[in-house]
Amino acid sequence: GTIIALALGDQAAISPADWTTYRITGVAHLMSISGLHITLLAWLALRLVDWAWRQTARLRRPWTLYLPAPTVAAWAALVAATAYAMLAGWGVPAQRTLLMLAVVLVLRQRGLRAYWLDVMALALIAVLLWDPWAVRQAGFWLSFVAVGMLLVAGERTQSATPVLASDTAVLPRGTAAPRPGLLHRSWQKLRAAGHAQWVATIALAPLTLLFFQQIALLSPLSNALAIPLVTLLVAPLAVAGLLLPAPLDAWAWQLAALVQRLFHGKNQRCI
């Protein structure tokens, strides 16, 4: 049922028992097509099209002479994200994600950059112009509040980085700063992911209590495992099953179902 929800946006196949498990552990937001999945698909499409377009440089008349690879890849990513969002039922998270991607795309194509608050404001205005009654949906508030708080947390983390790296100022001129080791970089990424998860959990706690009358205490721990597992493995495999020919489509869905069953079993043991 979860594979169908991630591939087609149809959540009816997920059993009530599974929904209970997902709600208690705080990972229900991942068991449908969300903005995170749409962004990942757009990124994958961008990388694939960019690579394929650059390979035409080996031809007698390279396609890159007519259209640069970054432009083609960006528009292909937006088309892929739009198709996936339409397949998902065009909910508020999908609208917000697409509008933010479109704003960033247009600005980059014009050689401009915008502050994240401006991008959020444009996406908010566009969503309300498209559907003024979206303010009555829980997904509207959860989506924008979650993204806004994560961007605020990310901005504060980036602003603190030069202070932490100020010790490089004592290095002799022309001497490069030593590159952090793999263990240090992994620890920094783990800290950043944990910080983002706690920010999202605390920021959404009042809204979750208001809309659903419950708060998932296991959410930080469950999402730490669920977000990379579902976003990087289950969701791409579910979408790949729609695009691949037989029998590769069945293999992709079976592998996605296997990973999902393993994750579901861990959730049940946590409960």
What's the pLDDT tens digit per position in 151-196? 777 666 555 544 333 333 444 445 555 566 677 776 776 666 666 6
Instruction: Give the lowest-confidence range in 8-17, 114-123, 194-203, 229-238.
Output: 194-203
Please give the pLDDT value at position 164.
37
Is 228 within 8 Å of 259 (Cβ atoms)? Answer: no
**Structure token digits, residue 157:** 């983390």
Mean pLDDT of 103-131: 80
Mean pLDDT of 226-244: 82
Distances in whole angstroms, Cα of residue 269 to Cα of each of 25, 62, 264: 11, 56, 9
CA atoms within 13 A of residue 126's CA, in its CB half-sphere? 19
* 231 pLDDT higher than 50: yes
Mean pLDDT over each residue of the chain, to the nearest integer: 77
* 10 pLDDT higher than 60: yes
Distances in whole angstroms, Cα of residue 75 to Cα of each of 64, 78, 81, 141, 168: 15, 5, 10, 28, 40
**Structure token digits, residue 94:** 């999908």
Taking the C-alpha atoms of residue 138 and residue 170, their distance in angstroms, rounded to an integer, is: 51
**Structure token digits, residue 228:** 């990379």
Largest CA distance in the chain: 64
What type of residue sits at position 29?
H
Taking the C-alpha atoms of residue 127 and residue 106, their distance in angstroms, rounded to an integer, is: 17
* 149 pLDDT higher than 70: yes
* 263 pLDDT higher than 70: yes
